[in-house]
């Protein structure tokens, strides 16, 4: 494997919503040729809430895992609640075991910085040697660096940057039969 290519990448410099949209669009572009596991955050859809924590949707099964408590309309408290992320992490682990080329995880945020949330899913993918694409906000950049800095690369919030990273990773990290599938897609 080419040691210059880092197989863990995080989108930096985008709002949470923009990062999730970028990841969702990436998955839509590459799903025809790439076995992608993981979760992407979606809105809770509740009006007049101060906290945006919503749900994590599985890219394999479509199951939605809530990561919030409904504290009621007008609540100004953070309603982030991590048990759904823990359940989602276990589902991602099962998807990794079943076989995938790439794991997309919504973000490394508040829960993950506290070694909770999707932290286990990040670790499962790293231990299995599966490339990871995620996002990190500036607020949690230091925690991310402590977690994965020597193994990861930061990417701008740009679709072309994500595609270029994935083409490089797929050429260096995937088995030859999977490289051919991804390379065929990249030319399309």
Assign residue 137 the CATH number of its domain.
3.40.50
pLDDT at 1 (0 to 100):
40
**Residue 119 counted as domain residue:** yes
Q: Is the dihedral of CA 177, 178, 181, 183 positive or negative?
A: negative
**Residue 159 counted as domain residue:** yes
The tens place of each residue's pLDDT in the chain, 188 residues long, gives: 445 789 999 999 898 889 999 999 999 999 999 999 999 998 655 545 454 567 899 999 999 998 876 555 665 545 466 778 899 999 999 999 999 999 999 999 888 898 988 999 999 999 999 999 999 988 999 999 999 988 999 999 999 999 999 999 998 877 676 766 666 665 54
Instruction: Please list, residue by residue across 118-146, b when 16 or more beta carbons sit within 10 angstroms of its beta carbon and e when fewer do.
Output: bbbbbebbbeeebbbbbbbbeebbebbee
pLDDT at 52 (0 to 100):
59
**Residue 113 counted as domain residue:** yes
Alpha-carbon distance of 25 to 139, in angstroms, equals 24
pLDDT at 49 (0 to 100):
47
**Residue 130 counted as domain residue:** yes
- Cβ neighbours for 85, distance < 8 A, ≥ 6 positions apart: 56, 65, 67, 111, 116, 117, 118
pLDDT at 173 (0 to 100):
72
pLDDT at 148 (0 to 100):
93
**Residue 152 counted as domain residue:** yes
The count of structural domains within the chain is: 1
| Contacts of 128-131 spanning 24+ positions with Cβ under 8 A | 128/96, 128/97, 129/7, 129/173, 130/37, 130/96, 130/100, 130/101, 130/102, 130/103, 131/7, 131/8, 131/9, 131/101, 131/102, 131/103, 131/166, 131/169, 131/173
pLDDT at 188 (0 to 100):
47
**Residue 31 counted as domain residue:** yes
> DSSP states of 108-133 as a string?
B-HHHHTT-TTHHHHHHHHHHT--EE
| Contacts of 57-63 spanning 24+ positions with Cβ under 8 A | 58/88, 58/91, 58/92, 58/95, 59/27, 59/104, 60/91, 60/95, 61/91, 63/91
For residue 8, list its beta bridge partners.
132, 152
Query: Range of 157's domain?
Result: 8-40+83-187
**Residue 30 counted as domain residue:** yes
**Residue 114 counted as domain residue:** yes
pLDDT at 143 (0 to 100):
95
CB count within 10 Å of CB 165 equals 19
pLDDT at 172 (0 to 100):
82
């Amino acid at each position: 494997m080419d040691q210059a290519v880092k197989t863990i990448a995080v989108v930096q410099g985008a709002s949470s919503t923009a990062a999730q949209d970028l990841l969702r669009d990436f998955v839509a572009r590459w799903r025809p040729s790439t076995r992608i596991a993981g979760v992407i955050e979606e809105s809770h859809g509740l009006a007049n809430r101060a906290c945006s924590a919503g749900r994590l949707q599985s890219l394999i099964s479509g199951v939605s895992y809530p990561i919030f408590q409904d504290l009621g309309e007008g609540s100004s408290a953070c309603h982030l609640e991590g048990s759904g992320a823990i359940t989602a992490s276990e589902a991602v682990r099962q998807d990794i075991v079943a076989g995938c080329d790439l794991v997309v995880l919504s973000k490394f945020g508040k829960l993950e910085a506290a070694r909770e949330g999707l932290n286990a899913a990040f670790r499962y993918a790293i231990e299995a040697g599966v490339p990871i694409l995620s996002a990190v906000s500036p607020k949690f950049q230091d925690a991310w660096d402590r977690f994965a800095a020597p193994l990861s690369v930061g990417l701008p919030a740009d679709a072309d940057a994500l595609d270029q990273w994935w083409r490089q990773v797929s050429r260096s990290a995937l088995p030859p039969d999977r490289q051919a599938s991804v390379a065929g897609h990249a030319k399309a």
